[in-house]
Structure 1
Amino acid sequence: MPRRREVPKREILPDPKYGNVELAKFMNVIMQGGKKAVA
């Protein structure tokens, strides 16, 4: 039984350029701590 409340999942917005959610997930993994705009 957990002591803390469950953390809600964050909604992943689609990629602004291509409108694709899978691409946005891929870019988030690749660009950890980097600039996504440059990529």
Structure 2
Amino acid sequence: MSRRGTAEKRTAKSDPIFRNRLVNMVVNRIMKDGKKSLAYQILYRAVKKIQQKTETNPLLVLRQAIRRE
């Protein structure tokens, strides 16, 4: 048992463009070797393609894909 205090839970920050925590959490999962800017580029390109093909809100599609609804 550690003698130090327990760490406080931190909430995930939101991403700079969509202001959504889910997007930031997905970016953190995509990220490899600490290259967060590359992960953001990959996700934003994918979101742009979703927007063009479905012509709906891409964040709703992303949420549905994660929840598998």
Give the TM-score taking structure 1 as reference length. Answer: 0.61
Unaligned runs of 5+ in 1: none
The CA distance in 1 between the partners of 2:32 and 2:5, in whole Å, is: 27
> Relative contact order: is structure 1 or structure 2 higher (C-alpha 8 Å, sep ≥ 6)?
1
Larger Rg computed on CA atoms:
2
Paired residue for 1:14? 14
The alignment yields a C-alpha RMSD, in angstroms, of 2.0
The count of aligned residue pairs is 39
Q: Would you tell me which structure has more helix in proportion to its own residues?
A: 2
Paired residue for 2:51? none
* 1:3-36 Cα distance to aligned partner (Å, 9 max, x none): 4421112231101121110110111122043311
